[in-house]
Amino acid sequence: MTTKQILPLLFFLLSTSLTFAQLKVARVFGDHMVLQRDKVIMVWGWADKGEKVTVTLNGRTVTAKAGPDGKWITDLPIMPAGGPYQLIIKGKKDQITFNDILIGEVWLLSGQSNMEWKVRSSDNAKAEIASANNSTIRHFEVAHELAFEPQKDLGKGEWKVASPSTVGDFSAVGYFFARDISQKLDVPVGLIHSSWGGSQIEGWISEKAMKESDVLYYYPQTMARNWDEDAKRQEQKLIRQTYGTDTYNIGAVDESTYLKPGYDYSQWKLKVNPMGQWVWQGVGGFRGTAYVQRTVDVPAELTSAETTLHFGRNTGDLAFYINGKKVFEGTTKEPIAIKLPAGTWQQGGNSLLIRMEPNREPQYFGMGFMGAPADFSVKGAGTSIPLVDTRWNMIPSWKATRTYDHFMNNVGTTIYNAMIAPLVPYTIAGALWYQGETNAGRAQQYRQSFPLLINSWRQDWGYGFPFLFVQLANFGPNQSSNDGSDWAELREAQAMTLRLPKTGMAVTTDIGNPDDIHPTNKQDVGKRLALSALKVAYGQDLVYSGPTYKDVQFSNGQAILNFDNVGGGLTTKDKYGYLKGFEIAGADKKFYYASARIEGTTVVVSHPQVPTPVAVRYGWSNSPTDANLYNAEGLPASPFRTDTWKGVTEGRKFE
């Protein structure tokens, strides 16, 4: 054979060998995993086109054949709880073996930061971690990723066995839930944890589901299709927020005027609190130079005194101006404390202007200053002036370089594509969901978007698995119904979702923290979800819910409320035995805090200024801390209203 004949043959052999695919199994499979008992177990991966693959577990062997795209999928037969076993996958040339496999109950965890919250940050963390010796509880955490198209597989992730060295990083709600049902059912429990702090529900819903829905059908028609397109849309939105139109000529902006005497900063339409990450203040992923400004009212005694300007921490480039005069420029990793000589401030109103850039350490913090409210003040002569007690005027610098971060809430569907799609169709017992805080401003739309998520996930998996969720805890003010509450409306939307089959809700308005959106008592959250699971998923006969509103009759100036889930009877935890948290209104829609009493299985509500009541509300605020209706089993009543009057979130839509 000549050289001319050999070279093409070698090239052919080499190129042919390169087409052989290495046997792969989806990333969610691995050592220490838990597979679902009493259901067929789906297993899948990739190999050469047409390659035969055998899968063996617990003496059972099944086969699959890789399709034209190289994907193979098969289902192992139904098996009872047990283990440990080996899972062996064999191809033509390769073999993959996974060890320490248990069969038990598998639950998918999802939502935002309260689901993501770790055991190490929860109540009694030290003791909980030290006692975490249940090796039959396993946890797989899905890494934060975004994608514009559904992904075939996860990029990383591994199963971890619960132990004092690992459990601190487990989802707290998930772990405490698993601990309860593991004890009650005496089976292993696997948790597949896919959540992202601050995420909106729309990020977790597939484009296909949106297109086929009555609620989000419009969104895929205009959504960004790549990050460059997303950045352009973010910039257009930012310009529109700043000037009222996205066609404003930003090239003509003269930023030198910001330092001139008498400049009118009130024309800056954007308002932010410099403290905290700006991604949560309506400016999305903007990363660049920005100006923030406010007027500081200074008393006479500070004009002739040395003062210190405290302003939290920011590790980017900064410049501070007082009445147009620069008093600091530079960068620092230390808490900002600018010493100012006497005469810096004038009596009355003073302009405090800051030019700022993104943080370098930690880079993820982006735009904004780190710290607590007490870290932002002007101090001197025994006086302290707070500086973040109101929002500041803000404007981006259009002269400076700017970028737009790949923020998870910028484009809907992108979390689903990267963090849910690759998990389908791993066999699960059900799903736990803790989310809604970020959607409170669109609570009315959540009435449809939340059921859409549940139904679409069930369609993806091919069966109607139980779906259990946490109703929002208390956070923020305890305002009256006359003020309205988006959090109350979101709770209502969650409660309405119980109309779907195989759903359950854990009420948490009694174990939240009005001052912290992340209440640390995750043990009771997990326990209440476990009660729902024992009832909804496992058919046990028990009281799994607090009282839920059924209906109302109005008679003789009173409202008589009937409830489901009264259990052993209605009661109150108030030491005086008084019911609180009820409001009542007449046709004028003006609510009054009402007198309420338990009569058997009903609650009777009235107020002398409402002789002809037509509506009652209970716990209708962001933080209904006075709501104290329970059943005898110690489970709190869910907040509710009997009316259908227009709410504060009506008409707001996801864009």
When pLDDT is cut at 50, 70 and 90, the band that residue 20 belongs to is low
For residue 283, what pLDDT band results from cuts at 50, 70 and 90? confident
172-185 and 523-536 are packed helices; what angle lies between their axes, rounded to 10 degrees? 50
Distance, in Å, from the CA atom of 159 to the CA atom of 272, rounded to the nearest integer, reads 41
Please state, in angstroms and rounded to a whole number, the distance separating the CA atoms of residues 541 and 502: 15
Higher-scoring residue by pLDDT: 12, 475: 475
Task: For residue 421, report the phi and psi dihedrals to the nearest 5 degrees.
Answer: -50, -40
Burial of 364 (0-12, 13-18, 19+ CB in 10 A): exposed
pLDDT band at 576 (very low <50, low <70, confident <90, very high): confident
What pLDDT is recorded for position 11?
47
Which is higher by pLDDT, 5 or 372? 372
Would you say residue 5 has pLDDT above 80?
no
Look at residues 534, 539, 541 and name the one whose alpha carbon lies nearest to residue 178. 534
Q: Report the amino acid identity of residue 352.
A: L
pLDDT at res. 468: 98
Residue 21 pLDDT exceeds 90: no
| Residue 405, pLDDT score | 93
Does residue 101 register a pLDDT over 50? yes
- What residue segments make up the domains of the chain, in order of their start? 247-404, 548-637
Per-residue pLDDT, 577: 83
> 596-641 pLDDT, tens per residue?
999 999 999 999 999 999 999 999 999 999 999 999 999 999 999 9
Between CA 438 and CA 498 the distance in angstroms is 20
CA 632 to chain centre: 32
Strand 348-356, strand 318-322: pairing:
antiparallel
pLDDT tens digits along 487-507: 999 999 999 999 999 999 999
Arithmetic mean of pLDDT, 149-154: 98
CA dist 35 and 181 (Å) reads: 16
Task: Render pLDDT for 406-431 as a digit per residue (tens, 0 to 9).
Answer: 989 999 999 999 999 999 999 999 99
Cross-sheet strand order for the sheet of 71-76: 24-25, 41-46, 71-76
pLDDT at 98: 98
User: Percent of the chain having pLDDT more than 90?
Assistant: 94
Q: What is the mean pLDDT of residues 304-312?
A: 97
In angstroms, rounded to a whole number, what is the distance separating the alpha carbons of residues 563 and 503?
18
Q: Residue 2's pLDDT is what?
A: 52
Instruction: Please compute the mean of the pLDDT values over residues 549-577 and round it to a whole number.
Output: 95
317 vs 322: CA distance, rounded Å: 17
Q: Provide mean pLDDT across the span 205-212.
A: 98
Q: CB of 451 within 8 A of CB of 415?
A: no
Across the range 367-392, mean pLDDT stands at: 97
DSSP state of 513: B
pLDDT value for 590: 98
pLDDT, residue 356, reads: 98
Say whether pLDDT at 168 is over 60: yes
In three-state secondary structure terms, 175 is helix
List the structure tokens of 566: 């009264």
Q: Which two tokens stand for residue 453?
A: 């998520």
Q: Is the pLDDT of residue 527 over 70?
A: yes
Query: Could you tell me what percent of the chain has a pLDDT over 70?
Result: 97
pLDDT tens digit sequence for 35-68: 999 999 999 999 999 999 999 999 999 999 999 9
Structure tokens of 414?
């992108």
Question: For the segment 113-146, what is each residue's pLDDT rounded down to a tens digit?
Answer: 999 999 999 999 999 999 999 999 999 999 999 9
Q: Which CATH architecture has domain 247-404?
A: Sandwich (2.60)
- Residues 6 or more apart whose CB falls under 8 angstroms from that of 333 comprise 313, 315, 361
Mean pLDDT computed over 266-274 = 96
How many other C-beta atoms are found inside a 10 Å radius of the C-beta of residue 222? 8
User: What pLDDT does 280 receive?
Assistant: 85
Measure the CA–CA gap between 511 and 63, rounded to whole angstroms: 50
The model's pLDDT over 330-346, given as tens digits with 9 standing for 90+, comes to 999 999 999 999 999 99
Report, as an integer, the average pLDDT of 469-498: 97
Closest Cα to residue 56, out of 28, 85, 19, 17?
85
- Mean pLDDT in residue range 442-455: 98
Peptide linkage before 519 cis (omega within 30 of 0)? no
Given a cut of 50, whether residue 14 has pLDDT beyond it is no
Alpha-carbon distance values, 232 to 223, 227, 408, 615 (Å): 12, 9, 16, 48
Query: Average pLDDT, whole number, for the chain?
Result: 95
Q: What is the mean pLDDT of residues 182-199?
A: 97
